[in-house]
Amino acid sequence: MKYDSNTTEIKILGYPLQHTLSPTIQQAAIDYYNLPILFHAVSLKEDELEAQINALRNLSCHGANVTIPYKEAVIPLLDDLDITASKIGAVNTILNQNQRLIGFNTDAYGFITSFSQENLSNPENKSALIIGAGGAARAAAFALIEIGIDLIVIANRNKKRAYNLINELNSTKTKNTKISYVKIQNDILDGNTQKHNLVINATPYGMMYSSLESITPLKSSSIDSNAVVFDMVYLPSKTPLLKEAEKAGAQTISGSAMLVNQGAKSFELWTGKKAPKETMHSALNSVLYSKDK
């Protein structure tokens, strides 16, 4: 694609962003349709967020993805939210709609779609451990409540942040899901975690190029062999947590599926075109293969 004065843009906003592969999958989808759009990353500090959000109102900008740590912080800077983002309290996609900025959450869709081949059709008597209490954890909890899971346990270092999330979930949930808390101490979970059918890492633990790259919040001895362990971190494709889960004999799901599924939904919001998921997966897998070597 040749870029010129007619080229428009879509951004991803966050910090840090050296790990992000969103530009890889989104540009692949854009190029599939030969659209004159450039998708690029903007790494920014908190005091730069408001200016960057306002810049999205430019007519040449379709919108943006939002990632760690701004999924909640962007909300007061937007003009409106769709119903899912409003319920979750986190935004990962912004659409510039005639210079009005609308916030969406495609993480919940991406998360639950990634489980589509798993046996979650009967969520009763199932228990999920969600590691983290930020925007991604909110999306996962919302999605699990919507399908009627019996119990969710939120694991986080910051007890106040965890209970803020729990209280919000309890105030908005329409199902009978029970929600509780377990503390993370020195990056390791306290208490018995083997009872959970699902384990979801919604933190940067294990993320390549970060200070947490070598950390897993759970050892194999704390993971049930019948559990499904989902790590939202997609780089590396086999994180320390997923390695521990494999040792335990558990089923594993990497974050790459969620990245493509939520990204596909975002692409459709920005462009109005059906996302070419196979093309996006192929572009992502090529990069993951080279980085995993």
14 vs 44: CA distance, rounded Å: 6
Catalytic residue among 71, 87, 126, 265: 71
Distance, in Å, from the CA atom of 237 to the CA atom of 221, rounded to the nearest integer, reads 22
Count of beta carbons in the 10 Å neighbourhood of residue 116? 9
Q: How far is CA 9 from CA 54, 132, 267, 270, in A?
A: 14, 32, 12, 10
d(CA 235, CA 292): 8
In single-letter form, the type of residue at position 160 comes to K
**Residue linked to tokens 């005639």:** 98
Cis peptide before 276 (omega within 30 of 0): no
Strand ranges (DSSP E) for the chain?
A: 8-14, 37-43, 61-66, 80-81, 93-97, 100-104, 127-131, 151-156, 178-185, 188-189, 198-201, 228-231, 251-253
| Strands of the sheet with 93-97, listed across from one edge | 37-43, 8-14, 61-66, 93-97, 100-104, 80-81
> Residue 78 and residue 16: Cα distance in Å, rounded?
22
271's CB contacts (< 8 A; 6+ apart) are 30, 33, 35, 37, 62
* 71 given a catalytic annotation: yes
The whole-angstrom separation of Cα 216 and Cα 218 is: 5
CB 91 within 8 A of CB 79: no
CA distance 291 to 293: 5
**Which residues are known catalytic residues?**
71
